[in-house]
């Protein structure tokens, strides 16, 4: 634990890590807000505004991954490394596939697969964070809850309202809040 804290203090001194933390904070907040808007079953024209902003949010999150890795990798452990790696690959796929949706609808499967991989990796990584006591406990809880709780909220709202609520809207809210908390820790 002492070695983890020493490596963390060394990483904090790097200004690019703080800048990436701000990017993760902004990207996470944007993801959470856009997911919350999608949960309300908005008019179709609203997605013309939401989608480009979501692309920016996911790109900011993907760009924050290297800094977060440098800052926290000493406390990952084996399971945490697997979870973080899966989450990182999924987030990069989403960051690439989401803009591609504007020109090719075939990228939808890559987007859904990447987002699902990111959420499963986030669950594994969040569990590892909670178990090892590294990082923010609230962020760890949100990462673990993003897929099961967020999906249940999305499907529940869709069945209650009878509207069309995208199943990824609920997980986006919790995943975004988790990354806002992780970004806040990086930006300190």
What's the token pair of residue 121?
């990796």
Q: What whole-number distance in Å separates Cα of residue 175 and Cα of residue 169?
A: 10
What ranges in the chain are assigned the alpha helix state H?
A: 2-12, 15-39, 44-72, 77-100, 107-132, 137-161, 169-187
Give the per-residue pLDDT at 6: 52
Residue 14 has pLDDT above 80, yes or no: no
pLDDT, mean of residues 37-43: 88
More confident residue, 31 or 13: 31
Give the per-residue pLDDT at 12: 53
> What ranges do the domains of the chain cover?
2-187
Q: pLDDT tens across 56-101, in order?
A: 999 999 999 998 888 887 778 899 899 999 999 999 999 999 888 8
């Amino acid at each position: 634990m002492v070695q983890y804290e020493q490596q963390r203090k060394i990483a904090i001194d790097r200004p690019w890590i703080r800048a990436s933390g701000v990017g993760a904070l902004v990207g996470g907040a944007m993801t959470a807000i856009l997911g919350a808007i999608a949960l309300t079953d908005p008019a179709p024209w609203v997605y013309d505004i939401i989608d480009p902003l979501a692309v920016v949010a996911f790109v900011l999150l993907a760009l924050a991954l290297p800094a977060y890795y440098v800052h926290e990798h000493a406390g990952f452990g084996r399971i945490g490394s697997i979870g973080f790696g899966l989450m990182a690959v999924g987030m990069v796929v989403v960051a690439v596939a989401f803009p591609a949706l504007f020109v090719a609808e075939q990228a939808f499967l890559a987007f859904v697969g990447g987002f699902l991989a990111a959420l499963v990796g986030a669950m594994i990584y969040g569990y590892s964070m909670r178990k090892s006591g590294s990082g923010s406990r609230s962020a760890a809880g949100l990462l673990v809850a993003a897929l099961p709780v967020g999906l249940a909220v999305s499907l529940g709202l869709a069945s209650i309202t009878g509207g069309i609520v995208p199943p990824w809207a609920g997980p986006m809210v919790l995943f975004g809040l988790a990354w806002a908390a992780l970004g806040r820790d990086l930006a300190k």
